[in-house]
């Protein structure tokens, strides 16, 4: 689970904390979330996470296919300029969102 997902769970569990949660460091979010999980699991809050209470959304993933080495890889960065495996230019690759 990613930190933005934990923030959404915390926002659903503690209404009114949205501003605090946006400013809070990631380690603190993880600590509060883990403590909350030990006290009471959040399965019942799962329906609120997709609502985007804090305005976070899952990062988009892109698939890069290299025509020179016939490899593909996935990344969140849409602006990769060369193949991770052979160093081919962006012009030798296809990019598509997942």
The residue count for the chain = 98
Whole-model pTM over 0.85: no
DSSP secondary structure string, 40-73?
A: S--GGGHHHHTT-TTS--PPP-EEEEETTT--EE
d(CA 14, CA 20): 11
d(CA 11, CA 83): 39
Per-residue pLDDT tens digits for 20-37: 888 889 999 999 988 888
Per-residue pLDDT tens digits for 27-66: 999 999 888 888 766 555 555 555 555 555 666 788 999 9
Task: pLDDT band for 70, please (50, 70, 90 cuts).
Answer: very high
pLDDT at 50: 54
């Amino acid at each position: 689970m990613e930190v933005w997902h934990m923030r959404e769970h915390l926002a659903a569990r503690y209404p009114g904390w949205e501003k605090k949660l946006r400013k809070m460091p990631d380690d603190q979010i993880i600590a509060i979330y883990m403590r909350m999980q030990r006290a009471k699991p959040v399965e019942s809050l799962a329906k609120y996470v997709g609502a985007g209470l804090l305005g976070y959304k899952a990062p988009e993933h892109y698939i890069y296919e290299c025509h020179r080495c016939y490899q593909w890889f996935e990344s969140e960065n849409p602006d990769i300029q060369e193949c991770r495996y052979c160093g081919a230019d962006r012009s030798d690759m296809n990019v598509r969102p997942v």
